[in-house]
Structure 1
């Protein structure tokens, strides 16, 4: 039995907060499409993990779900994604994410919408 769509997304956020790349990868479908709008999307699990690597390099991660809702297999989140990189204080990126969960309980599509300038200020 697979977890419900909201539980899958909550597990993803928890894995980020632990900086657990293996758990994150395990929640992604083999052919996942991950897009940080306005950036180009990553196609497939390996490409998605490569795209996420700079974020997972943070010394600490504290993603906070401000709102979450589901309509069938589609989950919407409003988040405050906080990072602390070595030698820096906490930074924050506000994001709205849409996740499509497949029949195996894995993330088949992930689209995050955010302000690119805010992201650039947050990253070292």
Structure 2
């Protein structure tokens, strides 16, 4: 991906999550990404970011609903409801506001999600919430 439209890159990431396609998610992340699920500590580098995202990609089904998206240069702002269905459980959801910085090479260099930690912990299965 070279000089990809930043909005298209973020929409591709959301689509990759909805397909539970970890390979596609990884391809969209810059090697030097800083990924932060605020209020959690930052994950620096692609491997750390993928470790942070692994409990979410482990869901049986994912349905991230994009409510709003805005672009300022190479920065993309989103308002989403991230829905997950884990094995043996009903759908759960977390409301999130995300800010993505897309590098010139079309990969996400920074990703900051803002959410309510109590809402996130309630949405995750008991075994997965300990990893967050």
TM-score, shorter chain, exceeding 0.5: yes
Task: Please give the TM-score of this superposition, normalised by the length of structure 1.
Answer: 0.99
Which residue of the partner structure matches residue 124 of structure 2? 123
Distance 1:41 1:55 in 2: 16
Q: Report the alpha carbon displacement of residue 97 of structure 1 after superposing the two structures with TM.
A: 0.1
Distance 2:70 2:60 in 1: 30
Unaligned runs of 5+ in 2: 126-132
Distance 1:17 1:27 in 2: 14
Q: Report the alpha carbon displacement of residue 26 of structure 1 after superposing the two structures with TM.
A: 0.3
Task: Please give the TM-score of this superposition, normalised by the length of structure 2.
Answer: 0.93
What do you get for the CA RMSD once the two structures are aligned?
Answer: 0.6
Q: Report the alpha carbon displacement of residue 2 of structure 1 after superposing the two structures with TM.
A: 3.1
CA displacement 1:76-121 (0-9 Å, x = unmatched):
0000000000010000000000000001011000000000000000
- Which portions of structure 1, spanning 4 or more consecutive aligned residues, are displaced by more than 6 angstroms? none
Which residue of the partner structure matches residue 7 of structure 1? 8
Alignment of 1:83 onto 2:84:
yes
